[in-house]
Amino acid sequence: MTGRVTQVIVAAADGSSLSNPGPAGWAWYINDDAWASGGWPHGTNNMGELMAVLDLLQSTAHVDEPLRILCDSQYVINSLTKWMPGWKRRGWKKGDGKPVLNVELMKELDVAMKGRNLQFEWVKGHAGHAMNEAADERARAAALAFQQGVAFDPGPGFPAAAPKAREQEFAVGSVDPEPDLFSFEPHGVSASDAEGRGSTSVPGTASPRVKAKLVQLTRELLDDEVRQDARALGSLLHPEFIAHALDGRVIDKGYGAWLPTSSNHEILAVDTYGDGVAGVRWRQGDDLTRLRFSLWQQTPNGWLMRFAQVTEVSAG
C-alpha cells in the first residue's frame, strides 16, 4: 500500500522599511495566486518581516500541510527558533535583562506557531532568489504606498483562509471606506454622539493585533529620535490632535508640553471605544508617577493619536 505523500507549502516572507524606521511594508509570497502584503506609516525592517510571518501563519492556520518559510533575516529566524524559549522563561526579557524587542509581535507569533509543522530556512536577500524577490517587491510596494499616500494591492491571500480578526491599515486613496467613527470633543469622546451612531462608549478589550499596534506606537513616542524630529512626531498625530498638559493647558500638535520626558513606562490597558477608536492607559516617568491616556483613531494614514492627557499621581 502506497503511503500518502505530504505536500509542503513553501512561502517567502519579507519586510521593508524605507528609512528604518520609516514607512514600512511586509509581504509573504507562495505564488502569484497566493500572497499578501500590508504595512504601516512608521516601522522597521524587522517588524515587517515578523508581521509577514505572523500573517502567513494566521492565513494558513486551517491547513494541515507542513510549512517551510524562507526568510532573509537571521534575526527573525533565530528569534522564533532559538531565542524565544529563553525569553519566555525570563518573562520576555533578554539575557541582559532588557525587554525583548517587538515583544507584542513575538507573543502573537508564539501563539500562532503552536501545533504547527514549521521549518524556517535562511535565504540571501537581494540575490536573485525568485520567491524572496517577489516578497521583497510586494513589501517595498506597500512601504512606498504609505510613504506616498497612495493605495496598494494587498494581494489575494491564501485560498480558503478562515476569516481573521485583524485591524485594517487603510492607505490614502484606498477604495475601502474609512470606518464610521464617532465624533470627538475637546475633553474626549462624546458618549451621546457615539450612541447616536450606534457605537458604544463603554470600553472593551482591544484585539491582540490592535493592542500590539498601539503599544508599538506608544513606545515610538518615547524614542528620542521621534520626539526630537517634528516630522516623525507629526506622522503619529491626527491633524486635529489636542492634549491636556500637566498644568491643565489645552494644547495642539504645535507644542511639546504634553510629550513624555522619560522612557520609563508601564502600559496599563488598551481599550476600544468603537470601530477604529481605541485608548491606551499607561504610567510614565522615572517613578511612574504620571498617569497618561492616549486616544487613537484609525484613519486613511493608519492609527493616529487624536487626544492625549497627563495627570500627576502619587508615587505610592
The residues annotated with a catalytic role in the active site are 14-15, 49, 72, 126, 136
DSSP 92: S
The 10 Å Cβ neighbour count of residue 31 is 10
Query: Among all chains, which residue has been given the C-alpha cell 507584542?
Result: 104
Query: Among all chains, which residue has been given the C-alpha cell 451621546?
Result: 192
User: What contacts 106, CB < 8 A, 6 or more positions away?
Assistant: 50, 79, 84, 87, 92, 100
The 10 Å Cβ neighbour count of residue 188 is 16
Query: Residue 59 and residue 61: Cα distance in Å, rounded?
Result: 6
Take residue 288 and report the three cell numbers written for it.
511612574
The 10 Å Cβ neighbour count of residue 309 is 18
Query: Among all chains, which residue has been given the C-alpha cell 503619529?
Result: 236
Between strands 237-244 and 250-252, the pairing is antiparallel
How far apart, in Å, are the Cα atoms of 63 and each of 7, 26, 57, 59?
A: 11, 22, 10, 9
* Side-chain-facing half-sphere of 212: CA atoms under 13 Å: 20
